Structure 1
Amino acid sequence: MVRISRIVFWLMALAWGMMAGFVAMGGFSSEAKQQECRLLEYAPAPVDNPLKGLVPYQGDYREYFPHSMEFNYLPYSALVKGYNEFDWAPLEKMLNDIAGRGHQAVFRICLEYPGRKGLIPDFLIRDGLKIHKWWYSEGPGHAPALVETPDYEDRNLRKSLRSFVTALGQRYDGDPRIGFITAGLLGLWGEWHTYPKVELFASKTVQLEVMDAYEAVFKVTPVLFRYPVGEKSFRSDLAKNVDRPFGYHDDSFAWATLHTGRKGDEWFFMTALKAAGAEEKWKTHPIGGEIRPEAWGIVFDEKPRDKRVQDFLQCVEATHVSWLMDSGMFQKKQDPNRIQRAMKLVRRMGYEFHCRSVSLRRLPDGKLVVRLEIENRGVAPFYYQWKGEWGILTGGKPVRTIPASGKLTGLLPGDAPRLWSETLDLSGLKPGLYKLALRVPNPQKNGHPLKFANKTQDIDAAGWLTLSDLPVN
């Protein structure tokens, strides 16, 4: 009798275990109160997730390498026609063209660019603005290019700059077509230097006026500056910006990024970042930049032929960079091995959200309590307040969507998983088998949705992460 009782006991335990597993997979259809929990399998997120990755100049280069953003310069003279008179048509044309491909724009406005004329508005020149003309050369093998540098101390120019930034922010802050703005306006290419003609650069007073203007009007769209500057800097002519709500862009990425300790390398990005006391800035404000042209393409090789190229992955993990302008991977078809390595390394940039587990608890009144764990496996947070949505799917389409109250912003790599908890109303649904899903849509029309690093992303419907089966009686 004892042996039979034990057999019956183990058979009952086995049956209960099988039913518990069935419930965890969403197969139990009772509306009674119950708990269902399942782990969610990881899979790499797309390389072209929005607001991260490599960024080509304006155009569609997806046949060469995946991307979700595009970059371009605009001359100051194209937009500014008077002290309070602006023509936004060139910027609108650029933004609409990029948005038409579902991409977001990164742009910079500049007053001087080697080899280009007419970037300074005529009305300022008529009003007495002095122009310094000089020849700039990249070095041996590069032909000198004419540069037209304005007198940045000119009162009329300073008035115009303040007026323009204010108008730009009032019109475009929070525009979903824009991913990031690099501050620009001052110096060669808008990079806040006139090297080697350092005496021509704007004074700290002018720099502060430009920073004040940006800070006053841009509350949503991130603005990035070229150089991190604290109380001390490798350049005595730069104004402090470390205590302002700006990110930074490293425009010599993987070439002058990592700290070397060598004399003369004080301007290297991580060295300057540390000197400024801004090593934690990435936690709240984005880091971007541009891969140094000498490193284009070869930076993704296992052993770059130029020994001056710094290790790309080390640079990514040190800077916590989200996006990088690049032309190397978008110029032509690359070697498959280079593309494969680039895909792996670029995916490491920015955020990568993985939903670890989901728990479901049904209530007698037809409601469903959902608890979802989300972790960030990337190197940086997500900097926009994009809103998530829960979806009840059938036949690959949502029949009901419910706004999610959880947030992605502020979830840092290495943080404990963030819990999203929601009570969903299932009343009124016809009996049947549904799918519970989640998505984070892009606020830009036709923009790429944010996708999770999960195996069930897009498995039932494009843009949706399937979380569980959801039978309804």
Structure 2
Amino acid sequence: MLFVNALRGFTFCAFAGLLLIASASAQTYMLQPAPSRVDNPLKGLVPYSRPHEDRFPHSMEFMYLALSDLMIQEHQFDWKPLETLLDDISSRGKQAVIRIYMEYPGKSKGIPEYLVRDGLTVHEYVNENTAPLPPAKIITPDYEDPRLRKAIQNFIAAFGKKYDGDARLGYITAGLLGTWGEWHTYPRNDLWASKTTQEVVLDAYEKAFQQTPVLLRYPAGPDHGYQANNASRPFGYHDDSFAWATLDTGKPQDNWYYMPALIAAGESARNKWQTQPIGGEIRPEVWGKVFDEPTQWVPGTQDFHECVTQTHATWLMDTGMFREVPSPERRRRAEDEVRRMGYDFYVRQANFEPSGSAFKMTLELVNQGVAPFYMNWPTEVAMVQDGKIVHQSVAENLSMKGRLPGQHTLVENVDTNELRGKHTVLIRVANPLANGKSLGFANANQDTTQAGWLTLGEVELN
């Protein structure tokens, strides 16, 4: 009886994916949940460029580029290799993750040729730290040469000027230094770049890139022995031995693993995920296999679910899920894990309070993932009547950027420019890539009225 009395004066109406609770002055819709898209933008598993499209859903592709292919002289650059790559990846509606390198086992190019002609010292040797691949010859430059430092500064400045905020780019891993651009020359630590050289790179990236996220290989605080302090800089991290050397084992020899290194780097590094993305690569030994039953794991495998929980990872390179068609069980586990990586937005409730041709919209949003959405993509509101969008506008207060895991209340006043009558209300987070998919919500009414849009309910405008 108390429940009935409390709701007296309200009208109830249920239809697909929505439950309407209406009063004389407002309409409130309870929205039904549903699994989100596995290929939501800027998150999930990332294959190398041009993967088999029928293997596993994805929104990004990864590729390396040699600095020597892009930098011809101190102030002369050839962007064609990068343009070709970005255009190719974006033609499939995907965004790119890239890394530019100078040294790579088994490859003879990388260091700009003009620097070598001008006398830059280089060291050729066989790198044996290449497992699971066989040892291979590598060429490491003298990272302390002022000419090389200047070249790096010039390149990053030009790179940022041309590509910062480019919709075709999802993330940049800093690269440039070390084997595979991974910021180490192990086991030849004597050839590794000094902190001064590292700071040249960090300063240049910080100045050149304000929009496109840049990720670093290793967390480092002010007391790190061989990595420059990066904990308070505006960069994310990428763990390239994910689910293998991620979790703390408690062993002193494993203190370079991602989580011990992150903890040692201090509070700013530990909280980095709240404002900067965390990515990386699943270790090659366990590509794809991390999504099998634990009894089938390769010895040394760390629990993928726990690794994602502790690192707050948004994206991870993986070849195993794209090399062959995964079994139904492996695919199902992978899809479940990918959905919780990064963001996973569910709109639980939508409330509309009309006033003439305008209305106040209040959304109860739940981020079910482990990290926020990092990009400032516009959230748009659309009004639909007779199956057609008759009004569309950007709702600044409904931005998804920075919404941490948990519940959020979002409020926006929508002016519909003198619309009258009953309209269906939709929202979407628009992808700036022309043919890229918009962000998909974990709601049953995603894409039901218009592709790419979430249906929130109906509002009566007087």
Superposition TM-score, scaled by structure 1 size: 0.91
Question: Which residue number in structure 1 is paired with residue 335 of structure 2?
Answer: 343
1:422-442 per-residue CA deviation (whole Å, 9 max, x = no partner) reads 23326245x5x5311111110
Q: CA deviation at 1:238?
A: 1.2
Change (3 A) 1:173 1:212: same
**Residue type matched to 2:414 in 1?**
T
1:320-352 per-residue CA deviation (whole Å, 9 max, x = no partner) reads 000001101000111111111111111110001
Question: Which residue number in structure 1 is paired with residue 247 of structure 2?
Answer: 258
Q: CA deviation at 1:243?
A: 1.4
Change (3 A) 1:26 1:412: closer
CA distance in 2, matches of 1:34, 1:418: 20
SS of the residue corresponding to residue 330 of structure 1 reads: helix
Matches within 5 A, 1:357-436: 357-363=349-355, 365-406=356-397, 407-414=399-406, 416-425=407-416, 427-429=418-420, 431=421, 433-436=422-425
Asked whether the equivalents of residues 33 and 362 of structure 1 are also in contact (C-alpha less than 8 Å), the reply is no
Asked whether the equivalents of residues 257 and 270 of structure 1 are also in contact (C-alpha less than 8 Å), the reply is yes
Question: Which residue number in structure 2 is paired with residue 4 of structure 1?
Answer: none
Asked whether the equivalents of residues 405 and 420 of structure 1 are also in contact (C-alpha less than 8 Å), the reply is no
Question: Which residue number in structure 2 is paired with residue 160 of structure 1?
Answer: 151
**Residue type matched to 1:306 in 2?**
V
SS of the residue corresponding to residue 337 of structure 2 reads: helix
SS of the residue corresponding to residue 26 of structure 2 reads: strand
Q: Identity over the aligned pairs, expressed in percent?
A: 48
CA distance in 2, matches of 1:217, 1:141: 35
CA distance in 2, matches of 1:427, 1:286: 41
Asked whether the equivalents of residues 370 and 424 of structure 1 are also in contact (C-alpha less than 8 Å), the reply is no
Question: Which residue number in structure 2 is paired with residue 52 of structure 1?
Answer: 43
Asked whether the equivalents of residues 391 and 416 of structure 2 are also in contact (C-alpha less than 8 Å), the reply is no
Q: CA deviation at 1:421?
A: 2.1
CA distance in 2, matches of 1:139, 1:200: 17
Residue range with higher mean Cα deviation, 94-103 or 248-257: 94-103
1:188 corresponds to 2:185 = no
Question: Which residue number in structure 1 is paired with residue 196 of structure 2?
Answer: 205
**Residue type matched to 1:379 in 2?**
V
Change (3 A) 1:135 1:261: same
Asked whether the equivalents of residues 368 and 426 of structure 1 are also in contact (C-alpha less than 8 Å), the reply is no
1:324 corresponds to 2:303 = no
Q: CA deviation at 1:22?
A: 4.2
SS of the residue corresponding to residue 21 of structure 1 reads: strand
CA distance in 2, matches of 1:42, 1:66: 21
Asked whether the equivalents of residues 60 and 101 of structure 1 are also in contact (C-alpha less than 8 Å), the reply is no
CA distance in 1, matches of 2:353, 2:19: 13
CA distance in 1, matches of 2:240, 2:349: 39
Q: CA deviation at 1:17?
A: 5.2
Q: CA deviation at 1:33?
A: 6.2
RMSD: 2.1
SS of the residue corresponding to residue 417 of structure 1 reads: strand
Question: Which residue number in structure 2 is paired with residue 73 of structure 1?
Answer: 64
Residue range with higher mean Cα deviation, 222-231 or 386-395: 386-395
**Residue type matched to 1:156 in 2?**
R
Q: CA deviation at 1:25?
A: 6.0
1:288-316 per-residue CA deviation (whole Å, 9 max, x = no partner) reads 00000001111001123313100000000
**Residue type matched to 1:244 in 2?**
R
Change (3 A) 1:386 1:160: same
Change (3 A) 1:196 1:27: closer
Runs of 4+ more than 4 Å apart: 16-19, 22-28, 138-142
**Residue type matched to 1:345 in 2?**
E
Question: Which residue number in structure 1 is paired with residue 140 of structure 2?
Answer: 149
CA distance in 2, matches of 1:37, 1:115: 62
SS of the residue corresponding to residue 69 of structure 2 reads: helix
CA distance in 1, matches of 2:417, 2:232: 48
Unaligned runs of 5+ residues in structure 2 are: none
Asked whether the equivalents of residues 168 and 433 of structure 2 are also in contact (C-alpha less than 8 Å), the reply is yes
**Residue type matched to 1:349 in 2?**
M
Q: CA deviation at 1:374?
A: 1.4
1:122 corresponds to 2:131 = no
CA distance in 1, matches of 2:365, 2:53: 29
CA distance in 1, matches of 2:60, 2:364: 29
1:239 corresponds to 2:228 = yes
Question: Which residue number in structure 1 is paired with residue 208 of structure 2?
Answer: 217
Asked whether the equivalents of residues 215 and 236 of structure 2 are also in contact (C-alpha less than 8 Å), the reply is yes
Q: CA deviation at 1:19?
A: 6.0
1:456 corresponds to 2:448 = no
1:214-256 per-residue CA deviation (whole Å, 9 max, x = no partner) reads 11111111100000000233xx221111111111000000000
Question: Which residue number in structure 1 is paired with residue 264 of structure 2?
Answer: 275
CA distance in 2, matches of 1:239, 1:472: 58
1:446 corresponds to 2:435 = yes
CA distance in 1, matches of 2:388, 2:341: 31
Residue range with higher mean Cα deviation, 396-405 or 260-269: 396-405
Question: Which residue number in structure 2 is paired with residue 3 of structure 1?
Answer: none
**Residue type matched to 1:328 in 2?**
G
- The aligned length equals 452
Asked whether the equivalents of residues 377 and 413 of structure 1 are also in contact (C-alpha less than 8 Å), the reply is yes
SS of the residue corresponding to residue 59 of structure 1 reads: coil
1:332-373 per-residue CA deviation (whole Å, 9 max, x = no partner) reads 11111111111111111000111111111122x332222112
**Residue type matched to 1:164 in 2?**
F
Change (3 A) 1:264 1:383: same
Q: CA deviation at 1:101?
A: 0.9
Unaligned runs of 5+ residues in structure 1 are: 1-9
Residue range with higher mean Cα deviation, 266-275 or 294-303: 294-303
Asked whether the equivalents of residues 357 and 416 of structure 2 are also in contact (C-alpha less than 8 Å), the reply is yes
Matches within 5 A, 1:100-111: 100-111=91-102
Asked whether the equivalents of residues 172 and 213 of structure 2 are also in contact (C-alpha less than 8 Å), the reply is yes
The structure 1 residue matched to 2:88, chosen from 94, 97, 102, is 97
CA distance in 2, matches of 1:91, 1:230: 33
SS of the residue corresponding to residue 390 of structure 1 reads: strand
Asked whether the equivalents of residues 71 and 77 of structure 2 are also in contact (C-alpha less than 8 Å), the reply is yes
Question: Which residue number in structure 2 is paired with residue 300 of structure 1?
Answer: 291
CA distance in 2, matches of 1:141, 1:297: 15
Asked whether the equivalents of residues 252 and 289 of structure 1 are also in contact (C-alpha less than 8 Å), the reply is yes
Change (3 A) 1:171 1:397: same
Change (3 A) 1:230 1:470: same
Higher Rg of the two aligned structures = 1
Asked whether the equivalents of residues 258 and 270 of structure 1 are also in contact (C-alpha less than 8 Å), the reply is yes
CA distance in 1, matches of 2:297, 2:171: 32
Asked whether the equivalents of residues 373 and 420 of structure 1 are also in contact (C-alpha less than 8 Å), the reply is no
